[in-house]
Structure 1
Amino acid sequence: MSKLSGQSRSKARIRWTGAAIVLTGVAAGVLLAVVQGRQDTDRDAAVVAVAVEKGEVTLDVATTGTVRPATTRALGFAVTGTVRDVAVRAGTRVRAGQTLATVDDREAAGDVNDAEASLGDARARLDAAEDAAARVTASATACATTGPRAPGAQVAAVGCPTRGYPDTGGDAILTAEQAVNRAARAVAQARAALDGTVLKAPIAGTVVAVAGSVGDRVTGGQTFVTLADTYAMQVRAEFPEADAGALRAGQSATVTLGGHDDALNATVVQVDPVGAADGALVRYGALLSFATPPGDLLVGQSAQVRVRVGQATGVLRVPSTAVHDISGGSGTVLVHGGTTSARRTVTVGLRGDRYTQVTGGLTAGEQVVRSW
């Protein structure tokens, strides 16, 4: 009996094991079908198609830059002297013609007095030379009008010249005139030097540097005040050579200043013709001018710069992510037709930041896979 019971239990275990294997296989099949169904559903859901449409395609290049004055003037005194007064400091806003600083003018004023005295002497010598010439001319005229004398008559000593042409003193007058001209130039130079003891602003702007203080000895022509035209500020930006080739004067741009969110309209006014090495890269500088400069611009302020280097309006376009294998003006898109998608070669124009222009191979309204 016990032997039969053992055999029965063994057969029961085999039957249960077989049933478990069958159930496991069925469950695995069901699970696989569910997973495959979900994958197919996810794949279908992942295909996002967009319509080919007409619109604008734009291409921008971006970099960073700094705000700088459009014009900077290095100003110095015309004479050597000791600084007597400094009326400004860095950051002072000034108007055109405003006095910035002065040096001791006593020596320059003395030079003006000496030059004017020399001019007076030269003019007096010229007057004397002209008077002498007039007397000689009058004497020669009197001798020429004297009639023939009678035989035996006495000749009056009238100082008549004995040569054919009278000496009118022309050489003396010429010499005196040259002396007057030299003295007049000396006076003009002395007065200019006196004026140069006062340093004035040639333009309205902001003082960015003062190179001395009261009591300092300065040399004529040496920069003492640096003045920036902060009423006409610009942005200086450096572009890598890959982008610089597309830059042109007159292109529109936007500038976002450090600490600000609003983008300001600007225009490219200059592109450097020669680049500068920056490590292994070559960069080209560009200047941008604000359309309407804000009043709170700071010299050296950082800026984010975007320049529009390409634009096409009213053209067929698709997202740039939809076009692959672009080469020689053509590319490949995946045209979506309901449940299937097929590759198609298209011709392309401007490839912008978000959209690419399609010039052939697609029509408006067709569906393409946005990203694949």
Structure 2
Amino acid sequence: MGGLVAVAILLTSVGAYALASDEPAAPAKTSTAKVDRGEVTTAVATTGSLEPAQTRSLGFAVAGTVTTVKVRPGDQVASGQVLAEIDATDAQEKVDDAEDTLDEAQDALDEAESGDSSSCGSGSGSGSIVPAALTSATPTPSATPTPTPSASATTQAPTASPTRSTRSTAPSPSASSRTCTSRSDPILSAQQRVTSAELALAEAEEDLAGTKVKAPIAGKVLTVAGSVGAEVNGGGTFVTLADVAGMQVAASFPEADAGHLETGLTATVTLADRPGEQFAARVVQVDPVGVADGNMVKYGAVLAFETVPSDLLVGQSASVKVVISKLADVLRVPSTAVRGDGQVVVRAAAGDETRSVEIGVRGDQYTEIKSGLIEGDEVVIAGT
């Protein structure tokens, strides 16, 4: 009897399970959003890295042996601060010799100028000097000859004629002029020596100043190429200095996105070591020439922070999002509520209904609705 009761219970349970399994599953819960008015923006995104706005490669002007290195990579320095030095003995000797040469040249010029400096071409009176040759050039008149008839038909020329001087009346350099020229030669020569000595001194002083590496701007030391005792050549890079106060973002965009970029566009930057924070920036440069990256061409761009965050690291990665268009106060819905065929599902009291709408700008978060919906309509968000 007990066995029959157990079998009956088992059959009842199986039947109940079969009836339950035939019931339809509960519909999945969906989320909705209200149609409202606001901004619709489109943006392009990429990744980049931080770099200084200015980088200076600094070195010594002359060759020598490093005697002092006052900084290490990572040090913050002020403008004008001495960063490193080399032995300045030879450079100082050249300056001393150039100063002595200039002194000697100046003494020679003073001596030449202190000589006889009487004015050239000045006479003893107020009148002008008339060359003696001019007095002999005046013709001397003679009596008019009396012609004498002769048997022949030939008329005899008069025997008396005015006498003219054949000497040239053009003025010639006077003795005083030649003397003035000869007196100016020592002064000119001495002045040329002074000018040459001044140039040599300026060059020597420049080389002496070049025995020290000074920071032309305030910034952070990135690299130091040597240590005390190292031999360096003139003109090489010994210290690399960066202006980290003007840190910026260097990024590259695919050509499809780069065509929308222009200077002045606003952007946001997200740093890997500061999740959840966004920093305002703007586009300050767009490269006019692209660079091939595999099968894709990319264009570089530089973005400047509106306010540079503190403690940034050179070379650290950053995510960039540039706003290329923005519409204000337009009717909008979440972009996920709009299907590819331009339809949305509207939730009403009588049930959900599919409605065709006219779409304007499709943004990253919201899509502009030009017609088909009114503010306050409730739409179903797809994929929820």
Same fold by TM (over 0.5)?
yes
* AA partner of residue 311 (structure 2): D
* AA partner of residue 251 (structure 1): L
- Structure 2 SS opposite 1:313: strand
Of 286, 290, 307, the residue aligned with 1:271 is 286
CA distance in 1 between partners of 2:174 and 2:274 (Å): 96
Residues 340 and 74 of structure 1: CA distance in aligned 2, closer, same or farther (over 3 Å): closer
Of 224, 243, 248, the residue aligned with 1:229 is 243
Report which stretch shifted further, 257-266 or 294-303. 257-266
Aligned-residue offset at 1:170: 2.1
| 1:130 alignment counterpart | 113
Query: How is 1:1-372 mapped onto 2 (pairs within 5 angstroms)?
Result: 35=23, 38=24, 42=27, 50-134=33-117, 137=118, 144=124, 163=175, 165=177, 167-168=179-180, 169-268=183-282, 269-325=284-340, 331-335=342-346, 338-339=350-351, 341-344=353-356, 346-371=357-382
Aligned-residue offset at 1:164: 5.0
Does the 8 Å CA contact 1:310/1:350 hold for their aligned counterparts?
A: no
Aligned-residue offset at 1:357: 0.5
CA distance in 2 between partners of 1:368 and 1:213 (Å): 70
Aligned positions, number: 317
Aligned-residue offset at 1:365: 3.1
Report which stretch shifted further, 187-196 or 49-58. 49-58
* AA partner of residue 256 (structure 1): T
Deviations 1:72-110 (A, max 9, x none): 000011112111111111111111111101111111111
If you compute each CA radius of gyration, which structure gives the higher value, 1 or 2?
2
Aligned-residue offset at 1:210: 0.8
Does the 8 Å CA contact 1:252/1:265 hold for their aligned counterparts?
A: no
Residues 51 and 262 of structure 1: CA distance in aligned 2, closer, same or farther (over 3 Å): closer
TM-score, normalized by length of structure 1?
0.76
**Alignment identity in percent?**
49
- Structure 2 SS opposite 1:212: coil
- Structure 1 SS opposite 2:373: coil
Aligned-residue offset at 1:353: 1.5
Aligned-residue offset at 1:277: 1.4
- Structure 2 SS opposite 1:109: helix
CA distance in 2 between partners of 1:200 and 1:282 (Å): 41
Give structure 1 stretches of 5+ with no counterpart.
Answer: 1-23, 146-160
* AA partner of residue 55 (structure 2): T
Deviations 1:14-46 (A, max 9, x none): xxxxxxxxxx9xx99x889x64xx36x62xx66
Deviations 1:140-197 (A, max 9, x none): 87x847xxxxxxxxxxxxxxx9725352222332222122111111111111111111
Aligned-residue offset at 1:286: 2.0
CA distance in 1 between partners of 2:198 and 2:120 (Å): 33
Report which stretch shifted further, 106-115 or 273-282. 273-282
| 1:154 alignment counterpart | none
Q: Larger helix proportion, structure 1 or 2? A: 1
Aligned-residue offset at 1:240: 2.0
Residues 201 and 48 of structure 1: CA distance in aligned 2, closer, same or farther (over 3 Å): closer
Does the 8 Å CA contact 2:34/2:377 hold for their aligned counterparts?
A: yes
CA distance in 2 between partners of 1:48 and 1:228 (Å): 51
* AA partner of residue 73 (structure 1): R
* AA partner of residue 163 (structure 1): A
- Structure 1 SS opposite 2:51: strand
Deviations 1:299-326 (A, max 9, x none): 1122222222232221111221232346
* AA partner of residue 339 (structure 1): G
CA distance in 1 between partners of 2:120 and 2:363 (Å): 98
CA distance in 1 between partners of 2:368 and 2:120 (Å): 101
Q: Larger strand proportion, structure 1 or 2? A: 1
CA distance in 1 between partners of 2:30 and 2:311 (Å): 50
Give structure 2 stretches of 5+ with no counterpart.
Answer: 1-14, 126-172
CA distance in 1 between partners of 2:71 and 2:305 (Å): 28
